[in-house]
């Protein structure tokens, strides 16, 4: 039996059906959803998320990066700790850009994955 993982964001694939994705990409999609969800945004899970979007209009600074790093690492361990092990999480600021570099291990396969995200707070 083959497991199908629905791709995020939801869309229709080339075959005219719900687009699917690989397991590693599915986990990365879940990480992205967790990081970009505000606590209180999900009705039945009011503490889901890490508050990244609440910091978008804050002045970019090393203190902002440190606060986000603590929040993001806690959220990743709490909500995805049964799927991944966070090996390294680095959040840096340079000019108007906030960069997130995450290295993690997929517990189901042992595969190590590295991903990066960038954004621009005000």
Residue 18 lies in a domain: no
pLDDT value of position 108? 94
Does 12 fall in a domain? no
Calculate mean pLDDT across residues 44-55.
Answer: 84
Domain of residue 113 covers: 23-119
- Which segments within the chain are labelled E, that is strand? 5-6, 20-21, 84-94, 97-106, 112-119
Looking at the chain, list the stretches that DSSP marks H as alpha helix, in order from N- to C-terminal side. 23-35, 62-80
Q: Higher pLDDT residue, 14 or 54?
A: 14
Residue 1 inside a domain? The answer is no
For residue 38, being part of any structural domain is answered with: yes
Token digits of residue 109: 């396969």
pLDDT at 96 over 90: no
pLDDT greater than 90 at residue 84: yes
Say if 44 falls within a structural domain: yes
Confirm whether 10 is domain-assigned. Answer: no
CATH number of the domain enclosing 42: 3.10.450.40
Report if residue 4 sits inside a domain: no
- What mean pLDDT, rounded, does the chain reach? 88
Q: In Å, how far from its chain's centre is CA 26?
A: 11
Q: Is residue 110 part of a domain?
A: yes
Q: Please state, in angstroms and rounded to a whole number, the distance separating the CA atoms of residues 32 and 117.
A: 9
Residues 103-117 have pLDDT tens digits of 999 999 999 999 998
Number of domains in the chain: 1
């Amino acid at each position: 039996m083959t497991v199908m993982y629905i791709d995020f964001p939801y869309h229709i694939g080339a075959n005219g059906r719900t687009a699917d994705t690989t397991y590693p990409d599915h986990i990365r999609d879940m990480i992205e959803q967790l990081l970009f969800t505000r606590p209180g945004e999900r009705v039945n899970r009011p503490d889901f998320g890490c508050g990244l979007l609440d910091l978008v209009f804050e002045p970019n600074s090393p203190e902002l990066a440190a606060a986000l790093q603590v929040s993001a690492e806690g959220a990743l361990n709490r909500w995805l700790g049964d799927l991944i092990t966070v090996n390294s999480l680095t959040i840096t600021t340079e000019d108007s850009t906030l960069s997130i570099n995450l290295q993690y291990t997929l517990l189901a396969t042992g595969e190590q994955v590295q991903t990066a995200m960038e954004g621009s707070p005000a």
